[in-house]
Chain A
Amino acid sequence: MNAYATGETHPTLNEMLGTRWRRPPLVQRAWLRWVLVIGGIAYLIAAFLSVEVNWTRVYEGLDRGGAFIMAFTQPNFVSRADAIWDGMLESIVMTVASSVVGILVSIPIALGAARNIAPLPIYLICRGIIAVSRALQEIIVAILLVAIFGFGPFAGFVTLSFATIGFLSKLLAEDIESMDRSQAEAVRATGARWSQWIDYGVKPQVIPRLIGLSIYRVDINFRESAILGLVGAGGIGATLNTAFDRYEYDTAAAILLIIIGIVMALEYISGIVRARVQ
């Protein structure tokens, strides 16, 4: 019939004509397919049934929801201007300070967490720090730190620095581990010391990525700083919480608009910087 027929037997054209054609299923084993489908549906039904929704409350809430959306058209920056200004300033201060400290600390930890640079004991310690930092969410760390340090931006500052370390060190360490060996070896072959080797062989390869990631992290830190106030760790979150509690939607809308505006500006700047660095 054709030159491509192999040893396997395939149905011939005459056998196949008139038969229905179905797309082969994604999961080949039939029992597994049915288990997945039925299990999925059963879970969804159980999940939906266990969610208690107070529909009258939701219905009543629609008015307030509408009022909130309307508030976005006329946000009120004025009546709580002092609180907004102080909260925003505190958020920005926390963002800047924690980003700087976080980045500075994360560089040595990243070097220590790169298997091709660091000896094993240091590697394990640094990886441990990263794992702890990544597993604990900012807000939980903030709660614990508020309990320890007391209310105020210091707890928020430590929280964000700690989170920055986990984020940056991990990505940076992966970058160092995947860097081009030949360039680094060429520098070492000139007889450079370890510090010189890092400076000339490693640094030029990872600096662009470090800058890109750092700016991205500044962006995240700012967004996170907006919620730390909910647990008393400083920043705009406290003001926002108060605004919601008092149903002052126009003030809340103003704060949210400022947050969105700053995040957009940061994303724009980070786009420009990353384009220039790479």
Chain B
Amino acid sequence: MPVIESSEGPVWRLRNRNETLTRWFVWLLGIAIFLWCWQQISDATTWFFVWDAPNIAGDILGRATPPRWSYMDNLWWPIWDTLNIATLGTIGALILAVPIAFLAARNTTPSTLFIRPIALLIIVATRSINSLIWALLLIAIIGPGVFAGIIAIAIRSIGFCAKLLYEAIEEIDQSQVEAVTATGASRWQVMVYGIVPQIMPAFAGIAVFRWDINIRESTVLGLVGAGGIGLQLQASLNTLAWPQVSLILLVILAAVVISEWVSAKVRGAII
């Protein structure tokens, strides 16, 4: 915060001249990048369609209402599948995430030099790639169906769960672990008595939180053929059966709201 001497006496400024220039330059550069990006999008867009969008949207809305309620009979089984994909996927992910988290946490990893980087790599790799992409991959390998969806959800969730869990492990109270060690407990006993009780609440919270997210994700996995209600959505879209589409979207919305409510309730009960 320099005070600049000028002909009218000292003037206070927040920043000095160089800082001001640098800031202007960074802002200018940012705006230029944004404008260039906008140019790219604009070039790839047929603006006629965009200007016509209100009409098209109105048209679709007109076709989609009212929803075709009788189609609901065809949706119960896909809903059950969707629930299974999310739940079994979450369970599978947790089973795999626990050992990875212990290998990744600084205070429990057997080797900081070799094993920890591998565990962290698994976490980053599984987290970076969306479950739809995992589903695409698995369908190419093991064929379409619910099973591919479960595995896709499980793989996608490993990184997420393991990351939160290993952060919880690194934050435990080390003195409790020390006390259990001092009794002559073995490495595994120390794990069960000193570490596990401390991370149990975090574990339960993560499980429910991820289950909530997985319900959302499993509703759309069917778009690429991995089972669940997304299959019906895709089929309805392909045949332009808009009343069915609107019904399915309502069902998905309801599923999202209900799962969020359940997860909030359970987390409230745990903490």
Contacts and interface: CB of A to CB of B under 8 A. Distances in A.
Q: Consider the complex of A and B and state whether they touch directly, i.e. have CB atoms less than 8 Å apart.
A: yes
A244 B143 CA distance: 12
Given A139-B132, A149-B50, A231-B223, 9 more contacts: A68-B140, A94-B37, A97-B41, A140-B249, A147-B56, A148-B53, A153-B41, A223-B130, A227-B132
A9 B262 CA distance: 40
Interface stretch (A44-52, A162-170, A176-184, A205-213): A44-52
Interface stretch (A10-18, A58-66, A105-113, A185-193): A58-66
Interface stretch (B16-24, B81-89, B172-180): B81-89
Given A137-B220, A230-B223, A240 B136 contact: yes
Nearest to B77: A50
Interface in B6-61: 33-34, 37-38, 40-42, 44-46, 49-50, 53, 56-57, 60
A96 interface: yes
B257 interface: yes
12 contacts: A43-B87, A50-B81, A51-B84, A54-B147, A62-B141, A68-B137, A68-B141, A93-B40, A152-B45, A244-B136, A244-B139, A263-B124
A52 B145 contact: yes
A227 to B, nearest CB: 5
A234 interface: yes
A148 B57 contact: yes
A147 B34 contact: no
A247 interface: yes
B30 to A, nearest CB: 8
Among A54, A62, A97, A260, max chain B CB count under 10 A is at A97
Contact of A260 (B88, B125, B237): B125
B53 to A, nearest CB: 5
A261 B53 CA distance: 37
Contact of B128 (A231, A247, A264): A264
Contacts of B50: 149, 154
A157 B136 contact: no
Contacts of B256: 135, 137
A268 to B, nearest CB: 10
Contacts, number: 138
Nearest to A267: B124
Given A54-B143, A58-B143, A227 B133 contact: yes
Contact of A64 (B141, B150, B249): B141
B133 A256 contact: yes
A50 B147 CA distance: 10
A90 B220 contact: no
Nearest to A56: B143
B142 interface: yes
Contacts of A152: 44-46
Given A57-B142, A149-B50, A263-B128, A51 B147 contact: yes
A241 B136 contact: yes
B217 to A, nearest CB: 8
Interface string B116-146: 0000000011011110110011011111011
Given A96-B33, A140-B249, A51 B137 contact: no
Nearest to B145: A52
B41 A154 contact: yes
A51 B146 contact: yes
Interface in A136-157: 136-137, 139-140, 143-144, 147-150, 152-154, 157
The 5 lowest CB-CB distance pairs between A and B, nearest first, are: A263-B128, A61-B142, A154-B45, A150-B49, A61-B141
A259 interface: yes
Contacts of A247: 140
Nearest to B33: A96
B71 to A, nearest CB: 17
Nearest to A95: B37
Among B81, B142, B253, max chain A CB count under 10 A is at B142
A173 interface: no
B147 A58 contact: yes
Nearest to B88: A47
B219 interface: yes
Nearest to A96: B37
A226 interface: yes
A198 interface: no
B224 interface: yes
A234 B44 contact: yes
Interface in B214-228: 216-217, 219-220, 223-224
B96 interface: no
Given A68-B137, A149-B50, A97 B44 contact: no
A130 interface: no
A224 interface: yes
